[in-house]
Structure 1
Amino acid sequence: MRFVPFVMISAALIVGVASPAWAITNGSADLSDHPEVGALIGDKPHPDGTWSNCTGTLISPTVFLTAAHCKEGGQKTARVSFSSHYQPGTPVYTGRFVADARYRDKSELHDMAVVIFDKAIPDITPATLPPAGLLDELKAQNSLETAQFTPVGYGSLTPTKKKTNGSRFKYTDTRNQTSISFKSLTPRWLKLSPDSSKGDGGTCFGDSGGPNFLGDRTSHLLVATTVSGTDNVCKATNLDYRLDTPSARQFLGKFVTLP
């Protein structure tokens, strides 16, 4: 699901309309930095010839974490590629798509899903999940304000000012990364915002379900997944679903051993 209807976030979280996300902007090719990050691949190409729909992360040899809103219709399985640049013929792995049963289409709460594979994905080390309450601990230590985060995804590059072939968004089926800065923390959300003075980027359409790693490009500590943004031109605050909360761990704990 590359483009999805607008959804509302609670006024306690954000004022206005938020659009489910997203793709890496102002970033660079990830290459081999995060081989555990993969793309959900459609059964047929999009009109622009590309194939990826959403992003996700391998969190155990047989479990791939993504967003529930990436589900299309009555989808029960999903195809995943871990290639840094997907092309037809690239190996894909098919698994069972399981969304958090608490998720509802008109709410971004519980926007989590996993793809479960019958066999372990070979030659890829899964990302590391955070211990319970990690971000709360860092906030109490006043460490989040200076922390660096690294989002990774297969989504649209920086939107153009003018439409080309009816779209402002350019997709390349390529895994990209950028850096982004801390803005605020709520009981469910990690809010990250691009700081132009640091050369930050952000996420955009197609990065949904993708990881936000705590640290620089060498980090594999996955603390939140990309869900939404506060605009539809991919320049403002990103809303990322925390993975260290009791709610998130309740879902994840059904499929992986948690730290």
Structure 2
Amino acid sequence: MTAVRATTMARASAVTAAACAAVLATALPSSAINSYNATPAPERTEVGALVATWDNDDDPATPDRVDWVCSGTMIDSDTFLTAAHCTTDWPDDVRFYVSLGQDVQAGLDAAAKAHPGDPTAQAEAVAVEGTAHTHPAYPGPASDTHDISVVELPADRLRARWTFTPAALPTAGQLGALGPRGLNTTAWTVAGYGTREALNGPGGQTHPGGGVRMKAPVSFDALNDAWVRLAMTAPQGNGGACYGDSGGPNFAVLGGRRVLAATTITGDTPCYATNVAYRLDTPGARAFLAPFVKLP
């Protein structure tokens, strides 16, 4: 999970070196989050997939590629929260869309048949176009990479296609106030569209699946100034995040309420052990989000 932005094998190019060593993964978007202890999450309608169209040939006049690339969460009626490394290091003509569908890969497959050779029509068949806003200080130092981004969307078009309740954000310093003891007894859930943990095969390790909204339990491991580390080990009953889950939510039940406490950024390469997630209760995260959403 060193890289948690998803691509197809045809687009296996490296992203600019960023905090937490986030690089592009070679994945086969096709159901995921880690397969162990993971289940579908059709009820998590606020969780969505980031879809992109871009130019991948010598004619930049029109886009010729479309794919889902990351996960994220609606945090109000028109704001989709994701990771900065999901919205940077793209060709100049990239366009971003958001889908709140349960199976975005199946939707893209059907759209490819209905609109062959037309990536824009394929994206519009499954998603709503928006405007990305990346933290201006990304990539920052490892202590706080500022790996946070939002996509602003037309609320009326979202309402016409999906019904959802935006995720609740934490209050200022809420995770820090609870501390490791309080967070250790907290119920945590990660969600997203990413691939499964590594499988060994004749050609080496692969990460199958992806493109279906899934969820899995995780447990608290450690808290840093900008990060919360969550254990994904199967013997503890956990699942976890993997490639394509970047920007997706890590929910914590705080005071009996489900709160979007952090967003998935990185972790270990085979997606077996640790999810490193960006805290949303910090001054830096809140300062970035304040122009886009009403903070608690």
TM-score normalised per structure 2 = 0.74
| Offset, 1:158 | 2.2
The corresponding residue for 1:64 is 80
Match of 2:289 among 239, 247, 252: 252
Give the counterpart letter for 2:179 in structure 1: K
Give the counterpart letter for 1:74 in structure 2: D
Matched residue SS, 1:179: strand
**1:66-116 CA distance string (max 9 Å, x none):** 011012233664111111111134531100011011102886610011000
Distance 1:132 1:105, change over 3 A: closer
Counterparts of 2:83 and 2:92 in 1: how far apart (Å)? 15
Give the counterpart letter for 1:40 in structure 2: L
CA contact (8 A) 2:263 2:279 kept: yes
CA contact (8 A) 1:21 1:227 kept: no
| Offset, 1:28 | 2.9
The corresponding residue for 2:33 is 24
Distance 1:19 1:232, change over 3 A: farther
CA contact (8 A) 2:41 2:215 kept: no
Pair 1:43 & 2:80 matched: no
The runs of 5 or more residues in structure 1 that have no matched partner are 10-16
Counterparts of 2:165 and 2:93 in 1: how far apart (Å)? 27
Distance 1:174 1:208, change over 3 A: same
**1:34-71 CA distance string (max 9 Å, x none):** 10000012337xxxx99321000000100000011012
Match of 2:146 among 96, 99, 110: 110
Matched residue SS, 2:151: strand
Counterparts of 1:21 and 1:135 in 2: how far apart (Å)? 30
Alpha-carbon RMSD across the aligned residues, in angstroms, is 3.0
Counterparts of 2:208 and 2:76 in 1: how far apart (Å)? 31
Higher alpha-carbon Rg: 2
The corresponding residue for 2:264 is 226
TM-score normalised per structure 1 = 0.83
The corresponding residue for 1:99 is 134
The runs of 5 or more residues in structure 2 that have no matched partner are 8-13, 26-31, 55-64, 112-124
Counterparts of 2:137 and 2:76 in 1: how far apart (Å)? 22
**How many equivalent residue pairs?**
245
Pair 1:128 & 2:168 matched: yes
The corresponding residue for 2:119 is none
Counting helix residues as a fraction of each chain, which structure ranks higher?
2
The corresponding residue for 1:74 is 92
Identity of aligned residues (%): 35
Structure 1 ranges of 4+ moved more than 6 A: none
CA contact (8 A) 1:69 1:105 kept: no
The corresponding residue for 2:273 is 236
1:185-224 aligned within 5 A: 185-215=223-253, 220-224=258-262
Counterparts of 2:223 and 2:93 in 1: how far apart (Å)? 33
Give the counterpart letter for 1:53 in structure 2: V
